[in-house]
């Protein structure tokens, strides 16, 4: 793994190292994650960016220890939380960390919440199960938490069910459950999907505020560069199960060093390009059952040359806080290609 901060001497809060995850299907083996590595410091926000199927959510599920099914395997790698390799812990020890010290906000709040229990009961369960709180104490703390995530009329809405809330309010309930036990790491998996732009901004502002108050580290999983700009410190871009670029957020927006990242940036609608055709990345994402022999992005890449089809590019160090998995990263930085 190329250390994103140039080989910091101190132990990071969380470090994923050379992680490999595969699924066995009837059609063959899907290698969903292929050597992913990144780290997270306390108080920092790392945005993990990529299209559906890039491996970003699978990596998060591996961190949480919630990869389901006997056909799913972590074949290699380490996930260190404060120096302890989570993959070497038994399930009881993982349970002590999951939810308490590392928590997750899931993408689809309506599916993640239980439709037959009130939201007050579901949030309060965190205090009852993990901290042995009485029903009365759990209810009091639940109201405080709902107030904290700005759910209007919190006490009055304790006994409402998930379907009685809007999409934005359900997402706030998910955030409340995730932060109930004051975790040190929060993983937010597409927390603004299917929400309108105004509500997206409110949810991101809420997460940033909670992070400032608590000092927790946050991993923000998204496919939307627009969401990332105002909240992230660093970006790790994933494609085909690998990290293809990581950098400080302003470096990525100023001068991307991987053609996939450049393509994503050029695909964002801009006011100063009104009336011009919107750029689109040619082709389609790779089939995970039949990955290209060389660079996974090569079939779609305007910078590709002969060796791109045969040689998987390593994550080149191109600065103390930056890496790019492209043979021709210099040309990408210059923005020049044939």
pLDDT at 316 over 80: yes
SS3 per residue for the chain: CCCCCCCCCCCCCEEEEEEEEEEEECCEEEEEEEEEEEEECCCCEEEEECCCCCCHHHHHHHHHCCCCCCCEEEEEEEEEECCEEHHHCCHHHHHHHECCCEEEECCCHHHHCCCCCCHHHHHHHHHHHHHCCCHHHHHHHHHHHHHHCCCCCCCCCCCCCHHHCCHHHHHHHHHHHHHCCCCCEEEEECCCCCCCHHHHHHHHHHHHHHHHHHCCEEEEEECCHHHHCCCCCEEEEEECCEEEEEEEHHHHHHCCCCHHHHHHHHCCCCHHHCCCCCCCCCCCCCCCCCCCCCCCCHHHCCCCCHHHHCCCCCCEEEECCEEECCCCHHHHHHCCCC
pLDDT at 1 over 60: no
pLDDT at 2 over 70: no
pLDDT at 275 over 70: no
Which range (97-106, 129-138, 178-187, 226-235) has the least confidence?
Answer: 226-235
Give the per-residue pLDDT at 336.
60
Q: How confident is the model at residue 49 (pLDDT cuts 50, 70, 90)?
A: very high
pLDDT at 191 over 80: yes
pLDDT at 8 over 80: no
Q: How confident is the model at residue 273 (pLDDT cuts 50, 70, 90)?
A: low
Where do the domains of the chain lie? 14-91+185-334, 102-182
Q: How confident is the model at residue 228 (pLDDT cuts 50, 70, 90)?
A: confident
Q: Is 293 exposed, middle or buried (0-12, 13-18, 19+ CB in 10 A)?
A: exposed
Q: How confident is the model at residue 256 (pLDDT cuts 50, 70, 90)?
A: very high
* Domain 14-91+185-334: homologous superfamily in CATH: P-loop containing nucleotide triphosphate hydrolases (3.40.50.300)
């Amino acid at each position: 793994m190329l250390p994103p901060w140039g080989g910091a001497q101190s132990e990071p809060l969380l470090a994923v190292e050379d992680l490999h995850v595969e699924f066995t299907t009837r059609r063959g083996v899907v290698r969903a994650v292929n050597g992913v590595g990144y780290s997270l410091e306390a108080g920092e926000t790392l945005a993990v960016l990529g299209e559906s199927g890039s491996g970003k959510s699978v990596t998060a599920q591996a961190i949480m220890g919630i990869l389901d099914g006997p056909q799913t395997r972590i074949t290699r790698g380490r996930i260190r939380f404060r120096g302890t390799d989570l993959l070497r812990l038994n399930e009881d020890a993982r349970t002590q960390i999951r939810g308490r010290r590392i928590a997750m906000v899931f993408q689809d709040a309506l599916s993640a919440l239980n439709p037959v229990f009130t939201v007050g009961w579901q949030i309060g369960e965190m205090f009852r199960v993990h901290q042995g709180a009485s029903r009365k104490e759990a209810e009091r703390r639940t109201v405080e938490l709902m107030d904290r995530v700005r759910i209007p009329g919190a006490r009055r809405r304790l006994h409402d069910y998930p379907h009685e809330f809007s999409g934005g309010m359900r997402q706030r309930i998910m955030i409340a459950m995730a932060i109930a036990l004051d975790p040190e790491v929060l993983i937010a998996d597409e927390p603004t999907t299917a929400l309108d732009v105004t509500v997206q901004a409110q949810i991101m502002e809420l997460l940033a505020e909670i992070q400032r108050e608590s000092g927790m580290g946050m991993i923000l999983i998204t496919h939307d560069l627009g969401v990332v700009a105002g909240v992230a410190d660093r970006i790790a871009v994933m494609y085909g199960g690998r990290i293809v670029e990581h950098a400080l957020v302003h470096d990525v927006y100023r001068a991307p060093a991987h053609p996939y990242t450049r393509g994503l940036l050029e695909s964002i609608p801009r006011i100063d390009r009104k009336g011009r055709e919107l750029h689109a990345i040619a082709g389609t994402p790779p089939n995970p059952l039949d990955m290209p022999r060389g660079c996974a992005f090569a079939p779609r890449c305007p910078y590709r040359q002969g060796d791109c089809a045969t040689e998987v590019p390593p994550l080149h160090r191109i600065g103390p806080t930056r890496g790019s998995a492209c043979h021709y990263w210099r040309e990408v930085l210059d923005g020049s290609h044939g």
